Amino acid sequence: MDFNLSKEHLMAQQLFHDFAVNEVEPWAEQTDEEHRFPWEVVREMQKYGFMGIPFPKSVGGQGCDTLTYVLAVEEISKVCATTGVILSAHTSLAADAIFMHGTDQQKEQYLCPLAEGKKLGSFALTEAEAGTDAAGQQTKAVLDGEEWLINGSKIFITNAEVADIYIVFAMTDKAQGTRGISAFIIEKGTPGFSFGPPEKKLGIRGSSTCELIFENVRIPKDNLLGREGKGFGIAMSTLDGGRIGIAAQALGIAEGALEKTIRYVKERKQFKTPIAKFQNTQFSLAEMKTEIEASRWLVYNAAIKKDTSKSFSNEAAIAKLKASKVAGDVTRECVQLHGGYGYIQAFHVERMMRDAKITEIYEGTSEVMKMVISGNLLK
Amino acid sequence: MKIIVCIKQVPDTTEVRIDPVKGTLIREGVPSIMNPDDKAGLEAALRLKDELGAHVTVISMGPRQADTVLREALAMGADAAYLLTDPAFSGADTWATSSTLAAAIGKLDYDLIITGRQAIDGDTAQVGPEIAEHLGIPHISYCRDLKIEGDEIVVKRQFEDRYQILSAKLPALITALGEMNHPRYMTPGGIFDAYREKEVVIWSRNEVPVADGNIGLKGSPTRVVKTNPKMLKQPGTVIEAGVEESVQYVMAKLKEKYIL
Ligand SMILES: Cc1cc2nc3c(=O)[nH]c(=O)nc-3n(C[C@H](O)[C@H](O)[C@H](O)COP(=O)(O)OP(=O)(O)OC[C@H]3O[C@@H](n4cnc5c(N)ncnc54)[C@H](O)[C@@H]3O)c2cc1C
């Protein structure tokens, strides 16, 4: 049992920290205010191999591990949660689905460009009628000769407009229920595949969130990901991994807000003394730090388990439940310690508070995390 | 083409303090970094590697912990690394340092040697040129820009108010200015390779063919008699931008510091 990061993880953490401060943070405010996808930042991340961290070099990745990937999402989310989710949805949803379930041919054609940073990925499960109840898929795929014919739509999809490669779930046999769901790889530009208008959101405003619309979209038969009827399992196991990325995003948001707040309370004076001198401030900081450390080890534990254990679903759910709760609580408290300034955009913590909320919703709500955890306890 | 880059691990001087009694640097608790001019020199070497396909070797003299900056160099793209470390080497002034480095470099193949202009903890700017003298090769200092033309290196040598364009026959040594370029980041995979696939070769006293009288504290003709602390001025930042953008930048900074 060793709670120390290895030398390579420490150096990677330093790299991600420097990158976040120098390349990501300068864009964070504008990204949020203008609801603008941070292409400048994403291009730099692509250039430096950030888009393929946990995958082997044989598929264009960096040959690192899930813990290194988590450190990247964490450091980046400390300064910009939008950039954090772009990296997370790309890596642990889209690319990982192909890595875990793709054929050699699919890996070469689709995973390599994702991991090498040449293309961006997206993962589309949610529909208007199929949210938490993801089994209720309405999108249909029918085999027509050598092609799948796809009709339907997906909502709230991250990286929607900006991605090149999409993992899309659809019913191939409604009568089979969850066993009738299959997964597909669809490329942008395929005729009949279009986007709804961008959603206006509470937080992570620079990330692209849109509806995906499929009207008689034809894709090659070989773009079925995994076996026919296995899509639901693919979705659930991929989301297990994705939750670790979101937990890391939540952890980063909380840490980022705490850092800003520590600086602020040392400088802000009331009653002729820095507000850091008040015991309420001190105890509040201590409690936040303790909660953050608790989530950190849950998140790192889930990341390590993903690479070393057969099952990590429970650990991922626990990490996401805790880290997202802490992100919400900590950012709200950080705004409180800033007083009125906390409510003002230039002080960043209001953005962090808005950004934190989504971590309790996507890739399974906190209620779903509790279902997973209690399901394991009661089985 | 074979390039050797000399790298020093230095305390991050933006955080360094001076012991008021002893007059020496307080190094405890101060993060160590790759000397900025050396990093620019490494970047210049890696760009030549990208363009012309060079083999880049990094070399450092220092304590065992200097391993970290060599791994960092490997993670940025250097091909091989050597660390000269031995109690006998410690306490070296520029003469002993350059004698030791030159002797080690003499065992390797090279067309070009790059050092930083100076180390931020010593500021002598002597080690680079001295290495060239020991090896009997030409050197050009204060390099702001360079290119390779046939068997020559052409260097823009920067002064405060003007520059020279100089050329030298290879093999040669240049000293790099930090302003020369923006060094690249490491890559995550590069870091893993640096620790798991690549090696930092350790050379101790016996592996470096240099006379006893030229190494370490004993081989150092100069002594630091006293160091006087000077009030550190915060380094300024130069922003190259239009009026609109500069104003926005300054406003953001003032807000960040809670001045506005
Ligand atoms: C910004 C953003 C980005 C997103 N990105 C993606 C993406 O990239 N890909 C993708 O596929 N989806 C994405 N989603 C969708 C997201 O995963 C879903 O919104 C989420 O799973 C919840 O589904 P829903 O919105 O339909 O809520 P509902 O399922 O309608 O839930 C409403 C409430 O009911 C609760 N609830 C539902 N069922 C139960 C139950 N059985 N027991 C107890 N409580 C229950 C929920 O926990 C929640 O509190 C994104 C959403 C947003 C907002």
Using CA atoms of B170, B176, B180, B186 in order, give the dihedral in degrees to the nearest 10.
Answer: 100
Atom number in ligand 1 closest to CA A368? 47
Q: Hey, which residues 246-285 in chain A have their CB within 8 Å of chain B? A: 264, 267-268
- Ramachandran region, residue B6 (left: φ > 0; alpha: ψ -120 to 50; beta: rest): beta
Atom number in ligand 1 closest to CA A201? 1
Residue in this structure with the two tokens 């990590």, named with its chain if needed: A312
Per-residue pLDDT at B25? 67
Percent of chain A with pLDDT over 70: 100
pLDDT digits (tens, 9 = 90+) for A303-327: 999 999 989 999 999 999 999 999 9
Q: Which amino acid is at A129?
A: E
Give me the active site residues of A, please: 363
Nearest to residue B34, comparing CAs of B59, B2, B3? B59
For A302, the token pair is 């889930």
User: Can you state the percent helix, strand and coil of chain A, rounding each to 5?
Assistant: 60, 15, 25
Distance of CA B130 to the CA centre of its chain: 14
Measured CA to CA, the distance from residue A361 to residue A304 in angstroms comes to: 24
Q: Is the CB of A362 under 6 A from ligand 1?
A: yes
- DSSP tag of A247: H
Is A34 part of the contact surface with chain B (CB cutoff 8 Å)? Answer: no
Per-residue pLDDT at B231? 61
Helices A66-79 and A81-88, axial angle in degrees (round to 10): 150
Nearest to residue B119, comparing CAs of B37, B191, B24, B51? B37
Burial profile B95-126: b = 16 or more Cβ within 10 angstroms, e = fewer: bbbbbbbbbbbeeeebbbbbbbbbbbbbeebb
For B18, the token pair is 């001076």
Q: Cβ of B75 and A11 within 8 Å?
A: yes
Q: Cβ of A8 and B68 within 8 Å?
A: no
Q: How far, in Å, are A7, A11, B8, B46 from residue B83 at the CA level?
A: 18, 19, 10, 19
Q: Is the CB of A124 under 6 A from ligand 1?
A: yes
pLDDT digits (tens, 9 = 90+) for A142-198: 999 999 999 999 999 999 999 999 999 999 999 999 999 999 999 999 999 999 999
Q: Hey, which residues 336-375 in chain A have their CB within 8 Å of chain B? A: 346
Nearest to residue A78, comparing CAs of A207, A251, A206, A310? A251
Answer whether residue A364 shows pLDDT above 70.
yes
Task: List the single residue in B68, B188, B194 with the smallest CB-CB distance to A49.
Answer: B188
Q: What is the mean pLDDT for each group of 10 consecutive residues in chain B (260 residues)? A: 96 75 71 94 97 97 96 98 96 91 96 93 86 96 95 94 94 95 98 97 96 90 78 74 89 82
Which residues partner with B149 through β-bridges?
A: B152
Burial profile A304-333: b = 16 or more Cβ within 10 angstroms, e = fewer: bbbeeeeebbbbbbbbbbbbbbbbbebbbb
Using CA atoms of B166, B167, B173, B178 in order, give the dihedral in degrees to the nearest 10.
Answer: 40
Distance from CA of A120 to the nearest CA of B (A): 18
Radius of gyration of chain B (CA): 19
Burial profile B6-43: b = 16 or more Cβ within 10 angstroms, e = fewer: bbbbbbebeebeeeeeeeebeeeebebbbbbbbbbbbb
For A340, the token pair is 């009125």
Measured CA to CA, the distance from residue A320 to residue A242 in angstroms comes to: 10
DSSP helix/strand/coil, B197? coil
- Chain A residues inside the 8 Å CB shell of B33: none
Nearest to residue A95, comparing CAs of A233, A245, A207? A245
Task: List the single residue in B72, B188, B255 with the smallest CB-CB distance to A53.
Answer: B188
For A319, the token pair is 């990490």
Per-residue pLDDT at B239? 82
Is A64 part of the contact surface with chain B (CB cutoff 8 Å)? Answer: yes
Measured CA to CA, the distance from residue B100 to residue B92 in angstroms comes to: 9
Q: pTM surpassing 0.90?
A: yes
For residue A170, the tally of other CB atoms under 10 A from its CB is 26
Residue B153: what are its φ and ψ, rounded to 5°? -110, 135
Report angle CA A231, A234, A238 to the nearest 5 degrees: 145
Measured CA to CA, the distance from residue A92 to residue A90 in angstroms comes to: 6
Q: Is the CB of A210 under 6 A from ligand 1?
A: no
Answer whether residue A256 shows pLDDT above 80.
yes
Q: Cβ of A57 and B185 within 8 Å?
A: no
Per-residue pLDDT at A56? 98
Per-residue pLDDT at B23? 64
Pocket test for ligand 1, best of A365, A369, A372, A374 (most atoms within 8 A of CB): A365
For B25, the token pair is 């640097």
For B94, the token pair is 């520029």
Which chain A residue has the Cα nearest residue B31? A14
